[in-house]
A and B are shown apart, each in its own frame.
Chain A
Amino acid sequence: MANALPSNLLDESLGGSSGGGRMILVEDCVETSGAFVVHHLLKRALNSHSSDAVVFLSFSHPLSHYDRVLRKMGCNLSVQRDNKRLLFLDMLALDHLDRNRGKTSEDILIALYGEIQKAVEISRSHEARHHITVVIDDVSLMEVDANGSSDLVLDFLRYCCSLTAQFGCSLIALNHGDVYSTVDQPNLLLQLEYLADIVIKIEPLATGLAKDVHGQLTVTNRNLRVDSGKSRSRIHNFQFRIKDNSVEYFYPGSKT
Chain B
Amino acid sequence: MAEWICRTLRDGGLEGEHAPALTINDTITCSLGSFVFDHILSQLSSFIHSQKSQSSGIVLVAFSRSPLYYEQLLKSKGYNVSASTWFKVLDCYTDPLGWKSKLANSGIIANDSLGSSVTAKLCKNVKDLDEVSEMLRHASVSSVASLLSELRSHGQVSSLFWLIHSDLHETRATAALEYISSMKATVIVQPMDGLRGNSACLSLMENNLKRGKFNVHVKRRNGRVKTMVEELYVENSTINFAPFSTEGEVISQSLVPKVQFNLQLSEKEQNDRAKVILPFEHQGDGKNIQIYDGRKSLNESKGDSEQTCLEKEDSGRGEIIYFRDSDDEMPDSDEDPDDDLDI
In the complex formed, the residue of B with least CB distance to A218 is B202
The residue of chain B having its C-beta at the shortest distance from the C-beta of A166 within the complex is: B114
Question: Which residues on the A side are within 8 Å of B65 (C-beta)?
Answer: 165
- Shortest CB distance B236–A (Å): 6
Q: Which 4 A-B pairs have the closest CB atoms?
A: A165-B66, A114-B103, A114-B108, A235-B206
Beta-carbon contacts under 8 Å, B50-96 to A = 65-66, 68-69, 93-96
A222-B137 contact given A118-B109, A121-B109, CB 8 Å threshold: no
A170 to B295, CA, bound (A): 90
Bitwise interface map of B from 17 to 36 toward A, beta carbon under 8 Å scored 1, else 0? 00000000000100100010
Q: How far is the CA of A164 from the CA of B146 in the complex (A)?
A: 33
User: Contact between A151 and B137 (Cβ–Cβ < 8 Å)?
Assistant: yes
Q: Are A110 and B112 in contact (CB under 8 A)?
A: no
Closest to B115 in A: A165
Contact with A along B93-123 (1 / 0, CB 8 A): 1111101101100001110101000000000
Beta-carbon contact of B210 and A227 below 8 Å? no
* A166 pairs with B112, CB closer than 8 A: yes
A-B contacts, 24 of them at CB < 8 A, read A110-B102, A114-B103, A114-B108, A117-B100, A117-B109, A118-B109, A121-B109, A151-B137, A155-B96, A155-B97, A155-B99, A158-B96, A162-B93, A162-B94, A165-B65, A165-B68, A165-B69, A185-B170, A187-B168, A191-B168, A227-B236, A233-B206, A237-B198, A237-B202
Is B103 touching A117 in the complex (CB atoms < 8 A)? yes
Asked if A194 and B99 make an inter-chain contact with CB atoms under 8 angstroms apart, the answer reads no
B237 adjacent to chain A (CB < 8 Å): yes
Interface pair A235/B209, CB less than 8 Å apart: yes
- Write out the residue numbers on chain B whose beta carbons fall within 8 Å of the beta carbon of A58: none
Contact call B202/A190, Cβ cutoff below 8 A = no
Complex alpha-carbon distance, A40 and B165, angstroms: 32
When distances are taken between beta carbons in the complex, the residues of chain B under 8 Å from A193 are 28
B206 and A194 form a contact (CB under 8 A): no
A81: which B residues are within 8 A, CB to CB? none
Pair A110/B103 contact, Cβ less than 8 Å: yes
A193 to B2, CA, bound (A): 27
Interface residues of B (CB under 8 A from A): 28, 31, 35, 65-66, 68-69, 93-97, 99-100, 102-103, 108-110, 112, 114, 133, 137, 165, 167-168, 170, 198, 202, 205-206, 209-210, 234, 236-237
B209 touches A194 (CB 8 A): no
Q: Answer whether residue A157 sits at the interface, using C-beta atoms and an 8 A cutoff.
A: no
Would you give the shortest CB distance from B96 to chain A, in whole angstroms? 8
Residue of A nearest to B69 (CB): A165
B112 contacts across to A, CB distance below 8 A:
166
**Bound CA span A225–B70, Å:** 13
Q: Would you call A190 and B167 a contact (CB within 8 A)?
A: yes
Cβ of B103: which chain A residues have Cβ within 8 Å of it?
Answer: 110, 113-114, 117
If A114-B103, A159-B99 touch, whether A234 touches B206 (CB-CB below 8 Å) is: yes
In contact, A206 and B209 (Cβ under 8 angstroms):
no
CA distance A245 to B110 in the complex (A): 42
B198 and A154 within 8 A (CB): no
CB distance from B109 to the nearest CB of A (A): 5
Residues of A contacting B114 in the complex (Cβ-Cβ under 8 angstroms)? 165-166
Q: CB within 8 Å of B: which of A113-132? A: 113-114, 117-118, 121
Closest A residue to B201 by beta carbon equals: A237
Given known pairs A110-B102, A233-B206, A235-B206, the reply for A154 and B109 (CB within 8 Å) is no
Digit string of A186-225 for contact with B (CB within 8 Å is 1, else 0)? 0100110110000000000010000000000010101011
Asked if B108 and A166 sit within 8 Å, CB to CB, the answer is: no
